Homo-oligomer: A and B are copies of this chain.
Amino acid sequence: MQERVLSIQGVKRLPYYLKFLKELQANGVTYVPAAAIAESLDIYEVQVRKDLAAISRQPGKPRVGFTVNALIEDMEHFLGYDNPNTAVLVGAGHLGQALMSYSELSHYGLKIEAAFDVSPELIGKNIHGIEVHPVEQLTALCREKNIEIGIITTPMEYAQEICDQLVAGGVKAVWNFAHIYLHVPKGVLVQNEDMAVSFALLSNHLARQMGEIPVEE
């Protein structure tokens, strides 16, 4: 009986495994040993084996390793990529447009159905195949299209209001790029992608390197 549990750090490694495996697949490679994955990504082989065992029932074959295609399938299933999620994006500025142009996300099962903004210059535009709607239509369109994920790339002062409208529209998860703590009802997942928070980690790391501040890993 397999446990199929993986730490958050483990989940974070999966997209790198997946990227490497897809390169192999594109080059017609059929088998890959754990050692080759480990070397390519600077990860201990024992860690690679543990991660793969958590997401795949496939046993590595002695000498040749794992079947690339099957490993990709198992990984995509574990990550839910085989079950595409519908999303809307609110705030079609630079960050929003960067996300809309980021084709990796669609390979990974994220389908941005519509974007929303308040700016008359953006409304009605088609950006990388995604139409920009007036924000007044947000809740209704989420309900109508059964949207699962709301992506917030607005300035922070509008983020909570937009979040409430997404929740009213029935989204199950909010991917929040605004620098604000969002209040949501129980059962709605918020994932914060806050550059100020990321920079805090980086800045604290540098302060540590200079011997000023210790941090427990």
Q: How far is the CA of A193 from the CA of B192 in the complex (A)?
A: 12
Contact of A202 among B14, B173, B200 (CB under 8 A): B173
Chain B contacts for A85, CB-based, 8 A: 203, 206
Contact B11 A215 (CB under 8 A): yes
For residue A129, give the distance in angstroms from its CB to the closest CB of chain B.
15
Contact string against B for A residues 181-202, beta-carbon threshold 8 Å, 1 for contact and 0 otherwise: 1010000010101111111111
Contact B105 A98 (CB under 8 A): no
Q: How many residues of A contact B (CB 8 A)?
A: 67
For residue A64, give the distance in angstroms from its CB to the closest CB of chain B.
24
Contact of A99 among B172, B195, B204, B212 (CB under 8 A): B195
Residue in A8, A191, A202, A204 with the greatest tally of chain B CB atoms within 10 Å: A202
For residue A49, give the distance in angstroms from its CB to the closest CB of chain B.
17
Residue A143 at the chain B interface, CB threshold 8 Å: no
Residue A217 at the chain B interface, CB threshold 8 Å: yes
Known: A8-B201, A78-B204, A83-B207. A15 touches B173 (CB 8 A): no
Q: Which 10 A-B pairs have the closest CB atoms?
A: A80-B207, A94-B98, A95-B98, A5-B216, A80-B203, A94-B97, A15-B196, A15-B200, A191-B202, A104-B196
Known: A6-B216, A11-B200, A102-B195. 15 other contacts (CB 8 A): A6-B215, A11-B215, A15-B194, A15-B197, A40-B181, A80-B204, A81-B203, A93-B98, A95-B95, A95-B98, A108-B199, A149-B202, A175-B199, A191-B198, A191-B202
Interface residues of A (CB under 8 A from B): 3-8, 11-12, 14-16, 19, 40-42, 78-81, 83, 85, 93-95, 97-99, 101-102, 104-105, 108-110, 148-149, 172-173, 175, 179-181, 183, 189, 191, 193-207, 209, 212-217
